[in-house]
Structure 1
Amino acid sequence: MSVTPKITQAMIDAYDEYTHLTLDRRGFMARLTGLAGSAAAASAILPLIAASPARAALVDPQDPRLSTLWAKFPVGDTEMRAYVAKPAEGEGPFPGVLVIHENRGLNGHIQDVARRLALEGFIAAAPDFLSSEGGTPPDDDAARELIGALDAEHTIAEAVGSREWLAALPGSNGRVGAVGFCWGGGLVNSLAVADPDLAAGVAYYGRQPDAEDAPKIKAALLLHYAGLDERINAGIDAYRAALEAAGVPHEIYVYEGVNHAFNNDTSAARYDKPAADLAFQRTVAFLRERLSAG
C-alpha cells in the first residue's frame, strides 16, 4: 500500500523560490532532499508540487459545445500564435477574453482555462508570448528561462496587439478583458496600465505595477491573491491605495490558507478546489458585467 508523502509549507516555499526567484534546480533539489529526509522522498514529492501535464483537462478538447482553433496574427515583427475557444452555438456576438499564461508558457492547462471561459459564453484567446522564440517548449524549465529573458516592453506591446486582434475578430462584440495567472497576472496589470481600451482585467496572484502608474488604468480590475503567498502579497496594500486614489474600479480578494497557483489543478500540492471554484465564479460574473455590449 503506497503512502502519499507529506508535503510541508517549507517545501512549497522552496519550489516557489525555484520557479520565480533565484534558486536553481540543483539548489532546489538539495533543499527539498533536506526537507524530505532523503533523495527518494524528494523525488516522490516533486511531482506533487510541480505542475503535471499528464493531469486530465477539466473540459475535453473535443467538447461539442465548443469550437476551437489555432490562430496566427501579426503584432509588430512577431507572428503571434494563439489558442482560441468559443461557443459552438449561440447568437453572439460574444465578449472577448485574453487568457495569459504562467511562466510555463502556453501549455495544456491554459488551453483548458480558455475552454472553461468559452463554455461561459466568451471568445477566449490564449496567446503564446513565446511565439517570437519559436513557441512554448515542452520542458517547463526551458519555458521559464525563455520567459525570464523576454523584453518587458515588447511583451506588453504584444499583449496590446493581441487585445486589438481579439476585439476585431468575427463574432466578437469588440469588448475585451484579460485574465492572467502568476506571470500572466502581472502582465494583466501591465496591460491595464498600457492599454486604455482594455475593458477589464483579472489578475490571479500577479505582480503589481508601479503605484504611480495606477492613474493610467482605465479597465476595471479583479485581483485574486493567495493568503500564503507572501512574495506577491507584499505589494497589495500599496496597489490598493493607488487604485483607490486614482478612482479605478477594483475588487480584491485574498483566499486565506492557500498557496500561490491555487487555481492550477495540475499541481496537486498547491491546487485548492474551493478557492479556485470561488475565484472562477467571481471572475465569470465580473467579466460578464464589464464586457457586455450594452
Structure 2
Amino acid sequence: MTQPVNETAPIIPQEAFDWYDEYAHGMIDRRTFLKRLGTLVTIGLSMSVLSAALLPNYALAEQVSFNDDAIKASYVTFRSPKGHGEGRGYFVTPKNLDKPLPVVLVIHENRGLNPYVKDVARRLAKAGFVAFAPDALHILGGYPGNDDEGKAMQRSLDKAKIQQDFVAAAEFLKAHALSNGKLGAVGFCFGGYIVNMLAATIPNSLSAGVPFYGTPAAAEIRDNIKSPLMIQLAELDKRVNATWPEYEVSLKKNKVDYQMFMYENANHGFHNDSTGRYDPKNANLAWDRTVNFFQQHLS
C-alpha cells in the first residue's frame, strides 16, 4: 500500500528540504531552521504549509497495520554488555511461523524507534522475513513520541555505546531460534551509517546490508567489509553523496560485492512516507530492490 500523491500540493523550494536536513542532523537549531523558513513565506506558501510538508506526520506512515493478520509483533530485550547493558526492540515475524527464516535488523534514524521504522519492520515480516528494530533510546525510556525530543535524547547518549548496542542486537538476531543463520540489515540516515558500520565491524556475521543515505564506516575499519551491499542514495542529498566517491574507492579496492543506486530528484529521507521528502516512485523502487536483494542473499 502506498500513499496517494496530492497533485495540487504546493511546490516546496529545494532549499527548504536542505535546511530541514541540516536541522534534522543537528547542524542548525530549531530557531535558525524556522527563521530560514520564514524567508520563504508568501501568500501561497505559509509557514503552516511549509511545516506540514517538512515535519513528520506518522499517521501517514502505516503501510502495514500492527493488527495485520499475516504478522505477529512483540517487544523483546537483549543483552548488550559493551553497550548500555540491555537493549529492547520491536520483533515482527510472519504469523504461524513453522520454520526458521532469514532475519533482518531494521535500524532507525537519529531520533529513536519512531512509527515509520516500526512499519518498515512490519513490511519485512509481510515479505517473509523475521524483522527486529531496536530502539537506541531504550536506556532512556524509549522513543518519546516526538522527533525533536528523540533527537535530543539520542545526542545525549555515548555514540560508541549506541553502536555496540546495534552490534549486540545483530548478534542476538542472528542467533535467534527463528533465524536461519542469515542476517541482513537495513537502515536509514543514521541507520544507514550503522549498516555500513556493522558490515565493517562484524563482517563474518552480516550476510547482506542495505544502507539508505548513510555515511560510511570509519576509514580505518572499511577494509574489513566482506558482505554484499546495496547502497541507496538520493540525488539531491549533497551531504551524504559527498562521502560516496571515497567509500566506493575502498569497496572496489577490497573487491566488495556492491551495488549503488542514485535516485533521480530524490531528497535525503525519500523513503520516509511521513514527510514531504517522500518520493513514492523512488521509494517503491528502492524497497523492491531491497527485498529482492535480501531474498537473493539471505535465503
TM-score bracket for the superposition, by shorter chain length: over 0.9
Q: Which amino acid aligns with 1:20?
A: H
SS in 2 for 1:222: strand
Map 1:41-60 to 2 at 5 A: 41-60=46-65
Q: Tell me the residue number matched to 1:10.
A: 15
Identity fraction in percent = 41
Task: Determine if contact 1:204/1:223 at 8 Å carries over to the other structure.
Answer: yes
Q: Which amino acid aligns with 2:239?
A: R
Map 1:1-294 to 2 at 5 A: 4-37=9-42, 41-76=46-81, 77-196=84-203, 197-267=205-275, 269-292=276-299
How far the C-alpha of 1:4 sits from its partner, in A, is: 4.1
Aligned partners of 1:85 and 1:133: how far apart in 2? 23
How far the C-alpha of 1:30 sits from its partner, in A, is: 0.7
If the length of structure 2 is used for normalisation, what is the TM-score? 0.92
SS in 2 for 1:278: helix
SS in 2 for 1:274: helix
How far the C-alpha of 1:90 sits from its partner, in A, is: 4.7
SS in 1 for 2:297: helix
SS in 2 for 1:74: strand
SS in 2 for 1:106: coil
Q: Which amino acid aligns with 2:20?
A: Y
Range with bigger deviation, 275-284 or 146-155: 146-155
Query: Aligned-residue CA RMSD in angstroms?
Result: 1.7
Per-residue displacement from partner, 1:136-187 (whole Å, max 9, x unpaired)? 1112111111222332221221111101111122221121111000111011
How far the C-alpha of 1:202 sits from its partner, in A, is: 0.7
Q: Which amino acid aligns with 2:274?
A: T
Aligned partners of 1:208 and 1:103: how far apart in 2? 15
Task: Determine if contact 1:227/1:257 at 8 Å carries over to the other structure.
Answer: yes
Task: Determine if contact 1:100/1:179 at 8 Å carries over to the other structure.
Answer: yes
Unpaired runs of at least 5, structure 2 = 1-7
Q: Which amino acid aligns with 1:274?
A: K
Per-residue displacement from partner, 1:74-122 (whole Å, max 9, x unpaired)? 2115221110111113542101000000112101111100010011110
SS in 1 for 2:86: strand
Per-residue displacement from partner, 1:213-268 (whole Å, max 9, x unpaired)? 2211122111100000000000111111100101111111100111000000111x
Aligned partners of 1:137 and 1:34: how far apart in 2? 31
How far the C-alpha of 1:212 sits from its partner, in A, is: 4.1
Task: Determine if contact 2:192/2:211 at 8 Å carries over to the other structure.
Answer: yes
How far the C-alpha of 1:21 sits from its partner, in A, is: 3.6
Q: Tell me the residue number matched to 2:3.
A: none
Unpaired runs of at least 5, structure 1 = none
Aligned partners of 2:213 and 2:35: how far apart in 1? 27
Q: Which amino acid aligns with 1:217?
A: I
Aligned partners of 2:155 and 2:26: how far apart in 1? 10
Aligned partners of 2:26 and 2:252: how far apart in 1? 30
Range with bigger deviation, 102-111 or 87-96: 87-96
